[in-house]
A and B are shown apart, each in its own frame.
Chain A
Amino acid sequence: MSTIPLPTKKTPSAPSAAGDPTSTRSITTGGTMPTAKGRKSGSWSTTIILFLCAVTVLLPLYVTISMAFKTGPQSVDGNAFSLPAPFSIDGFVEAWQLTRFPVGFAMSFIVTAGTVVATIILASFASYAIIRNWDHRLFRYSFFYLLGAMFIPFPVVALPQIQLTGRFGLDNPLGVIILATMFQLSFSVLLFTAFLRSIPMELEESARIDGASTWQTFWRLIFPLLAPMSATVGIFAFLYAWNDFMMPSLIISDADMQTLPVRQNLFQSQFSSNYNVAFASYLMAMAPAIIAYLFAQRWVMEGVTQGALKG
C-alpha cells in the first residue's frame, strides 16, 4: 500500500525495531487513546455496549458447545440456547467414529504443518536471495513475478490445477500443501523482503569475515533474525491451511484423506436428527485453532495487524 512506509533500511536496532511499529505492539498492551484526561464518564456505558456486541460473537460458539453436549433427543427439541441437560458426550463418541476424527485430524495437521513450514522456508530463502542480489535483473524480476500472484485468486486457476494435480498424482494432501504454499508466497515474500531490508549489512559482513559461507550466514544469523516475521507469516499460513475448505475439497480426491473442515459435509447430506453429533464434530474441528489462539493471542493480534499493514 502506497500509504504505508516500509521500515527504512539500516535501522540500528534491526530485529526489534523492524516491522514492529509501536502502534502494533500497543494493540496487545492496552494503548489507551488519551482522550480528555480525568473524565471517566462513558467508560461503563461503552463497556456495556461492547459487551452486548461481544455476545453476538460468542452466541454461535455457545450454541455449538451446548448443542455438542446434549443428548440426541434434546438436540432436536428446537431450543438451541438451552443448557445441556443431562450432560452427554454421546455426540463426541459418535462424531469421532463417523468422521474418523483421528484420520481427519492427522490430514489437517499434515496439510497445516506442511504449508506453514514450506511457506516460511521457501519465502525466506527467496526473499534473502532477492534482497542480496537486487542489482541483478533476474532477482529483481523474480520479485515482481512472485508478487504478481497477489492478484490471482484461487478460483481463476482452480480448474486447470484440479486437472494437473490429478494427472500428476498430487490429488492428495501433498498437492494441497504445494498449492496453498504458492498462494501464500507473494504475501510472505513481501513481508520477508521488507524485513530483510532493515537488517544492516554490517552484521552480515562481520559473520563473513569470520569465514561463514552464505548458507551458514543464512541459517545461523539471518533466519533467527527473521523470527518475528516468520511468526507472522506462519500465523497467516496456519489460519489459511487449517480452516480452508475450498482447496482441499477440490484437490483431494480420496475422501479418506480429506481435512477436518471438508469432513463436516457428512452432516449436510444426512441432515437428520443427530444435531448433537454434528455440533460435537464441528466443535472438535474448530477447537484446535481456538485453543491455539487463546494461548497465542498476543502474537496472533500483533502478527495479523503487522501482516495486513505491510501486505
Chain B
Amino acid sequence: MTATRSIVTGGSAQKSRSNKRVEPIYYLFLFPAVVLFTLAITVPGIIGIFFSFTDSIGIGQWEFTGFTNYIAAFSDPAILTSFLFTFGFALVTVILVNVIAFLLAVGLTAKIRFKMGLRAIFVIPMVVSGIIIAYVFAFLFQNSLPAAGSALGIPFLETSILANPDLAWVGIVIVTAWQSIPGTLLIYIAGILSIPGDVYEAASIDGANKRQQLVRITLPLVAGYVVINVILGFKNYLNAYDIIIGLTNGGPGTSTRSIAMTIIRGFQTGDYAYQMATATLFFIITIIIAVLQLSVTRGRSNI
C-alpha cells in the first residue's frame, strides 16, 4: 500500500541513474516470481475480464454479448443482496472487532497479573482454521445456545439463530470477530506501547483521570493504528467465505451469501461469464474502496 510510496522516495535518494548493465544473474532472481505471478494471477485476471463480455458457460462455444452481463448483474436481486450483505457484514464486523480489540489492548497493556499468559491466550484464535472453528460454533449455535435459551426461559434463543434469516448474520459476525480480534489486538498493543510514558505522567499531574487519559491521549495517539486495522480488516471481511461456509453455507435461503460465494457458485451453476462480470465489479469496488481509504488516511501520520 502506501508503504510503497516511502520505498519509492527512499529509493530515489540513491540517485546515480547510471545505465550500468545489469548483471544477468539478477534476471534469474527476478523472473521466476514475475513469470509465475503473471501466469497465476495476471493471465487468469485478463481471461476473466474477457469472458465477462461473453456468454461462456465455462466450456464450449461462446459469443460476445457486450455489457449484457453487467446490465443483468445490476438488476439481479441475488447479486445485489449478496453485495449488500457482504458490505453490511464487513462494516459491522470491522467496528465490533476494533472496539473490542482496542479495549482488550488497553487492558493487556495496563498493570495486570498474568499479562503474558493472557496475551498468549487471546492470540490463539489467530492460528485456528476458520472453517473448523465455524463448524464448532455451528454446533454451539444449533445445540447449546437453544438448550440454554429454553433452560433460562428466553424464547428468543430457543431456536438456532443460524436457522433464522434475520439473525444468521449475527452468528457469522461473532465467529469472524472471534477469529480476527487477535491480529487486530496485537497491532493495538504495539500502538499503545509506542506511546511514551511521560505523556501519561504529565496528564495525571494535571489531574486527568484514567478515562480522560484513555479518550484524550491513548485514542488520538493510536489513530494511525486504527486506520491500519480498519483497512486490513475491511479488506479481509469483504472476501468472507470459509466461516460462512462452515456456519450457514449462505443460508437460510440466500440471506448470508457473500460476494465470494456468489461468484464461486457461478462455476457450479454454469453462470461462468455472468459471475465473471460480478467478479470484475467486485474488483473495481475493492480498488475504489482501497483508494478512498488511502486518501482519507493520507496526511494523518502519527506513529
Contact = CB atoms under 8 A, between A and B. Distances in A.
Contacts of A161: 40, 44
Given A44-B113, A129-B26, A297-B123, A250 B190 contact: no
A275 B48 contact: no
B242 A245 contact: yes
Given A197-B7, A301-B123, A151 B110 contact: no
A162 B266 CA distance: 12
A132 interface: yes
A270 interface: no
Given A31-B193, A35-B213, A135-B18, A178 B36 contact: yes
B170 interface: no
A59 B108 CA distance: 20
A23 B193 contact: yes
Interface in A68-88: 78-81
Contact of B132 (A3, A264, A292, A294): A264
A133 interface: yes
Residue from B18, B112, B235, B280 whose CB has the most chain A CB atoms within 10 Å: B112
A3 B297 contact: yes
A159 B263 contact: yes
Interface string B134-146: 0111011001100
Interface in A1-51: 1-6, 8-9, 21, 23-24, 26-28, 30-37, 40, 42-44, 46-47, 49-51
A58 B280 CA distance: 40
Interface of B: 1-7, 10-11, 13-14, 16-20, 22-23, 25-27, 29-30, 32-34, 36-37, 40-41, 43-45, 47-48, 51, 58, 104, 107-116, 118-133, 135-137, 139-140, 143-144, 147, 178, 183, 186-187, 189-195, 197, 200-201, 204, 210, 213, 224, 227-228, 231-232, 235, 238-239, 241-242, 245-246, 259-260, 263-264, 266-267, 272, 275-276, 279-280, 282-283, 286-287, 290, 294, 297-303
Given A4-B303, A261-B242, 18 more contacts: A2-B5, A2-B294, A27-B186, A33-B110, A42-B110, A53-B122, A122-B32, A145-B37, A146-B37, A149-B37, A154-B260, A155-B259, A156-B280, A160-B48, A214-B26, A245-B130, A267-B135, A293-B124
Nearest 6 A/B pairs, CB to CB: A34-B197, A160-B44, A129-B29, A2-B2, A243-B129, A126-B33
Interface of A: 1-6, 8-9, 21, 23-24, 26-28, 30-37, 40, 42-44, 46-47, 49-51, 53-54, 56-58, 60-61, 63-64, 67, 78-81, 122-123, 125-126, 128-130, 132-136, 138-140, 142-147, 149-164, 178-179, 181-183, 185, 189-190, 193-194, 197, 213-215, 218, 239, 242-246, 250, 260-262, 264, 267-268, 275, 278-279, 282, 285-286, 289-290, 292-294, 297, 300-301, 304-305, 308-311
